């Protein structure tokens, strides 16, 4: 689903967000993620729940080769204004970092 | 090592819900091992220790005099029980028993009783008043710690930058978090009366608690380590629920400790991980923890590994499975009053022949 009103490209995003998105792949890849959104970190013993959107974001974070690539994908996929995407991502990544202790 | 058919004595059956001893969990691990066909003799100190009444785990149960009594009386009692039950292996499960059993290893072996215990030097090295050195061996920080023998410490400690809350600990057991001088002095007196001096005072490290248990082979290697994160604790800070994990920092630190100490026997390493991801060594216990049944839940069996080491066999490595949750629960067992009578009058009994 692409919204032609949403300009694609990383330049619209806050560089701080790109930095926050840069969670080490070593940490993201070790997570046990169930289809129902239950996430378990086998190193810290932390577990938490993601909703459908959060689960999608987590999978994209695990698969993305770089924060820039992720941001471009999300801008293409989600029909939301850049500011909204930025705000939602900031909230999600903040919570994720808290749960992962990074 | 094939099927195990000998008799094993296990101490510490004080499986009280808020602060259980490890003995019952050790007996349960052995009983559930596919290659264990032996007998289990449960040894404990109080006629109301719950493990003394659970025939599914123990074939016979006996009372011992408290370890603080004369070592001659203690060992005489052990000889009497041994003459009756002919156990060939002994697994002590309480910190306070270890110095005595370590000293008596030769005598026990003369009786045909095998043990696998740390040396006196190793026991001294892991003392709570030696934490800083242990931390340096493990490559971990340690909380600021003071060895205290006088109540006066609490009158002046704030001037020396000790800020409440603090942890006040016994040299063997017990720990209280205290928020004021009044609470600290009360905890100091209570702990000193029960466990003697010195009393340990530590700064509180805020964070998550992670523990590791394993058996040291006495040559510097750890056999089949199992790690867990506490998810819920009792009022006394004992694990009530936890989950198995794989934490490289805790594992590496524990391996370094085992190597430096050449640790022989079971151990538990306790660390705290603070909000900044820094690890602090809290203490090392020279025995299995009460949560040892998690070693069965994660695919291994550390009490069986201990028996293998007693027989000079190297246990096969078993990878520990992360993500196994355990929850402790309280349940009642029912026994005829004659069972209690046999314990207090005769000092023990064979459970399998004891009618319900």
Domain boundaries, chain B: 7-115+331-350, 122-128+206-327, 144-203
Instruction: Looking at the complex, report in whole angstroms how far the Cα of residue A62 sits from the nearest Cα belonging to chain B.
Output: 20
pLDDT the model gives residue B84: 95
| Pair type for strands B39-44 and B7-11 | parallel
Please give the torsion angle defined by the CA atoms of residues B265, B31, B83 and B307, in that order, rounded to the nearest 10 degrees.
Answer: -30
A5 found inside a domain: no
Mean pLDDT of chain B: 93
CA B156, B185, B178, B212 torsion-angle sign: positive
Torsion angles phi and psi, residue A79, rounded to 5: -85, 70
Query: Which residue of A45, A101, A102 is in closest CB contact with B243?
Result: A45
Q: Tell me whether residue A52 is exposed, middle or buried, using C-beta atoms within 10 angstroms of its C-beta: 0 to 12, 13 to 18, 19 or more.
A: exposed
* Interior/surface letters B168-199, b for 16+ CB within 10 angstroms, e for the rest: bbbbbbbbbebeebebbbebbeebbeebeebb
For residue B25, give both structure tokens.
Answer: 């969990």
CATH of B122-128+206-327, one of 3.30.470.20, 3.20.20.70, 3.10.105.10, 3.30.1360.120: 3.30.470.20
pLDDT the model gives residue B174: 80
A4 found inside a domain: no
A23 found inside a domain: yes
User: What are the chain B neighbours of A42 within 8 Å (beta carbons)?
Assistant: 245-246, 322-323
pLDDT the model gives residue B239: 85
A16 found inside a domain: yes
A44, B231: Cβ pair inside 8 Å? no
B contact residues 190-249, partner A, Cβ 8 Å cutoff: 208, 210, 228-229, 231, 242-248
Instruction: Report the 10 Å Cβ neighbour count for B237.
Output: 15
User: What are the chain B neighbours of A45 within 8 Å (beta carbons)?
Assistant: 208, 210, 228-229, 231, 242-245
Residues linked to residue B39 through DSSP beta bridges, in sequence order: B7
Query: Which residue of A43, A101, A102 is in closest CB contact with B245?
Result: A43
B186: helix, strand or coil: helix
- B323 to chain A: nearest residue by CA? A42
Residues linked to residue B244 through DSSP beta bridges, in sequence order: B228
A89 found inside a domain: yes
pLDDT digits (tens, 9 = 90+) for B116-131: 999 999 999 998 888 8
Is pLDDT of B237 > 80? no
Domain that holds residue A30: 10-100
Q: What is the mean pLDDT of residues B199-218?
A: 94
ipTM score above 0.90 = no
B247, A44: Cβ pair inside 8 Å? yes
Is pLDDT of B284 > 70? yes
Q: In what order do the strands lie in the sheet with B89-91?
A: B89-91, B7-11, B39-44, B60-63, B348-350
pLDDT digits (tens, 9 = 90+) for A4-53: 444 444 455 677 777 788 889 899 999 999 999 999 999 999 999 999 99
Q: What is the mean pLDDT of residues B319-328?
A: 95
pLDDT digits (tens, 9 = 90+) for B138-168: 999 999 999 999 888 998 899 999 999 999 9
Number of structural domains found in chain A:
1
- Residue found under tokens 């919570």: A95
- Residue found under tokens 């039950």: B85
Is 3.30.70.890 the CATH classification of the domain at B7-115+331-350? no
- A40 to chain B: nearest residue by CA? B323
pTM given for the model: 0.88
Is pLDDT of B262 > 80? yes
CATH topology of domain B144-203: Dna Ligase; domain 1 (3.30.1490)
């Amino acid at each position: 689903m692409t919204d032609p009103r949403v300009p694609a490209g990383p330049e619209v995003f806050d560089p701080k967000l790109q930095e926050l998105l840069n969670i080490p792949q070593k940490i993201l890849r070790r997570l046990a993620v169930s289809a129902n959104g239950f996430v378990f970190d086998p190193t810290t013993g932390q577990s938490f729940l993601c909703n459908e959107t959060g689960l999608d974001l987590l999978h994209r974070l695990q698969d993305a080769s770089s924060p820039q690539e992720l941001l471009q994908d999300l801008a293409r996929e989600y029909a939301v204004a850049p500011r909204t995407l930025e705000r939602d991502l900031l909230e999600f990544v903040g919570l994720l970092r808290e749960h992962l202790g990074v | 090592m094939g099927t195990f058919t000998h008799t094993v004595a296990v101490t510490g059956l004080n499986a009280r819900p808020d602060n259980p001893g490890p003995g019952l969990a050790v007996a349960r691990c052995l009983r559930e091992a596919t290659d264990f066909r032996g007998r289990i003799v449960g040894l404990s100190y109080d006629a109301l220790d719950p493990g003394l009444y659970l025939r599914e785990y123990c074939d016979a149960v006996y009372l011992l005099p408290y370890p603080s009594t004369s070592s001659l009386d203690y060992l005489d009692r052990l000889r009497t029980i041994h003459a009756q039950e002919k156990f060939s292996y002994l697994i002590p499960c309480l910190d306070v028993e270890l110095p005595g059993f370590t000293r008596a290893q030769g005598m026990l072996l003369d009786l045909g009783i095998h043990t696998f215990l740390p040396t006196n030097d190793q026991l001294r090295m892991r003392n709570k008043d030696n934490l800083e050195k242990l931390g340096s061996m493990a490559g971990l920080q340690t909380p600021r710690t003071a060895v205290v023998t006088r109540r006066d410490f609490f009158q002046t400690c704030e001037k020396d930058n000790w800020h409440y809350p603090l942890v006040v600990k016994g040299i063997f057991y017990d720990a209280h978090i205290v928020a004021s001088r009044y609470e600290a002095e009360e905890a100091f007196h209570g702990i000193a009366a029960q466990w003697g001096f010195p009393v340990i005072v530590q700064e509180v490290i805020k964070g998550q608690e992670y523990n590791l248990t394993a058996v040291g082979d006495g040559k510097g290697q750890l056999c089949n380590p199992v790690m867990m994160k506490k998810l819920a604790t009792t009022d006394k800070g004992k694990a009530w629920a936890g989950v198995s994990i794989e934490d490289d920092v805790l594992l590496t630190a524990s391996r370094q400790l085992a190597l430096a100490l050449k640790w022989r026997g079971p151990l538990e390493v306790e660390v705290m991980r603070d909000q900044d991801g820094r690890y602090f060594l809290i203490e090392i216990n020279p025995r299995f923890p009460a949560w040892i049944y998690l070693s069965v839940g994660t695919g291994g069996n550390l009490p069986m590994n201990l028996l293998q080491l007693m027989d000079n066999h190297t246990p096969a490595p078993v990878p520990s499975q992360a993500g196994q949750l355990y929850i402790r629960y309280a349940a009642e067992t029912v026994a005829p009053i004659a069972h209690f009578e046999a314990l207090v009058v005769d000092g023990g009994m064979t459970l399998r022949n004891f009618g319900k």
